Amino acid sequence: MLVTGASGLLGRATASAIRDAGHEVRTFQRRASGVQGAEDLRGSLTEPADVARAVAGMDAVVHLAAKVSLAGPPAEFAAVNVEGTRGLLNAARAAGVGRFVQVSSPSVAHSGDSLEGTDAESADPEHARGEYARTKAVAELLALEADAPDFAVVAVRPHLVWGPGDTQLVARIVERARAGRLPLLGSGAALIDTTYIDNAASALAAALERADAVHGQAYVVTNGEPRPVAELLAGICRAAGVRSPAWSVPPGLARAAGGMVERFWRGEDEPPMTRFLAEQLSTAHWFDQRRTRADLAWTPAVSLDEGFRLLAASYAR
C-alpha cells in the first residue's frame, strides 16, 4: 500500500498505523519519511516518472501529499494539489490500484460562515477561502469523479489535526504565544472540533479498509468533542508551558487586517494573519460524526484531555 506525504505528521502516523495493521507499506515524498519497516521512495508529485514508480505494484493508495500553507503563489498550489492529484489518480488506475483514499480538508466546503453540527457538505472550489482550500476542493472533486466499481475512491477530511511533533498547528500557536502575538478573536467562545493525531491516522486506515463498501463518499473526521477556541488554545499553551492568550481583537478587524496582509505579504514564512485564519479562529466549526463513525466502523481512541496530557509529556521530554 502506498502512502504519499509520509514525511509529515499525519502521513507518518498513517503509514505506521497501516503497517501495524499487517500491511506492507511504501511511502512517497520528497524527503525521508522515517517510517520504520516501510519502503521509502523519494520523488515529486509533479514528476510523472516518479509517480509511476510510486504506484507500481500497489493495490491501494492513501494520498496525503499536498502544498499546505496560508499563502503562496497560486500556481504552486495548483501544480501540487490539483495537477499532482490528477496525475496520481491516472497513474494509480493505469497500475491497477483498486482503492484510493483522498485526504482532503473541511475547508473545501467552508465559505466563511459557521459550521455547526454539519456533515461533509459538497466541496465548493468557487467559495472556498484561500488557494489551499480552493485547490484541495478541486482535487477532492477530481478524486470522487474517478470513483468506479474497480477503483474505489473515498475522501476523508480530518479537521485541525494536532499532537506531539506537530510543526503546523501546535508549533505556530506556541511560537506566537511565546512571542505575545497570539490574541483571541472576539470572546473566544466559538466552538471548534479538532482531531488528535492518533485518531486521524486510525480513521484514514479505517477508510482504506472500508473503501469497497463506502466508495464515492466524503467524510469529515474529528474527535467529536467541540470546545471553545479559547479553551483549545489554553490547553495547547498549558501543555507547552507558555502563557495563554490574554488579549483579544475584534473579529471584523482581524479579517480586514488579514485581507491587507494577503495583498501585500511577500515573506518566506507564514503571514501573521489571513482572512481564512481570522474566520477559522472566530467562527464555529464542528461536525456531526455519526455517519463517519458508522460507515468507517471507527471511533476515536484518544480523548482531547488525554491528548493534552500526551502533548504536555512530549514537551516535558
More confident residue, 190 or 217: 217
Please report the pLDDT score of residue 9 as a whole number. 92
Res 186 pLDDT > 80 = no
CA 314 to chain CA centroid, Å, is: 21
Please report the pLDDT score of residue 280 as a whole number. 64
196 annotated active-site: no
Q: Percent of the chain at pLDDT above 70? A: 88
More confident residue, 122 or 111: 122
- Any idea which residue has 495563554 for its cell? 244
Which cell is 87 given? Answer: 496525475
- Any idea which residue has 487586517 for its cell? 257
DSSP 19: H
Buried b (16+ CB within 10 A) or exposed e, 17-33: bbbeeeeebbbbbeeeb
| Alpha-carbon span 289 to 262, nearest angstrom | 33
- Any idea which residue has 459550521 for its cell? 115
More confident residue, 34 or 224: 224
Res 110 pLDDT > 80 = no
Whether residue 28 contacts residue 54, with contact meaning beta carbons closer than 8 Å, is answered with: yes
Please report the pLDDT score of residue 47 as a whole number. 95
CA 92 to chain CA centroid, Å, is: 22
Buried b (16+ CB within 10 A) or exposed e, 286-300: bbebeebbebbebeb
In single-letter form, the type of residue at position 41 comes to L
- Any idea which residue has 499525519 for its cell? 10
Catalytic residue among 132, 196, 219, 315: 132
From 170-179, 233-242, 297-306, the region with the lowest mean pLDDT: 170-179
- Any idea which residue has 466541496 for its cell? 123
∠ Cα 298 302 306 (to 5°): 165
Kindly report, residue by residue over 12-66, the tens digit of the pLDDT: 999 999 999 999 999 999 888 888 899 999 999 999 999 999 999 999 999 999 9
Q: Name every residue whose Cβ is closer than 8 Å to that of residue 242 and which is 6 or more positions away in sequence.
A: 174, 177, 178
Helix axes 229-240, 304-316, angle to 10 degrees: 30
Question: Quick one: which of 169, 170, 168, 162 has its CA closest to 240?
Answer: 170
Res 227 pLDDT > 90 = yes
Backbone angles phi, psi at 248, to 5 degrees: -135, 160
- Give the domain ranges of the chain: 2-159+195-222+288-301
Which superfamily, per CATH, for 2-159+195-222+288-301?
NAD(P)-binding Rossmann-like Domain (3.40.50.720)
- Any idea which residue has 520528497 for its cell? 30
Taking the alpha carbons of 34, 94, 103, 216 in that order, is the dihedral positive or negative? negative
Please report the pLDDT score of residue 86 as a whole number. 97
Taking the alpha carbons of 130, 146, 285, 126 in that order, is the dihedral positive or negative? positive
Distances (CA, A) of 220 to 104, 119, 130, 203, 247: 9, 7, 19, 10, 32
C-alpha torsion angle, residues 191, 277, 33, 209 (rounded to 10): 40
Paired residues of 196 in beta bridges: 162
| Alpha-carbon span 239 to 247, nearest angstrom | 20
More confident residue, 167 or 259: 167
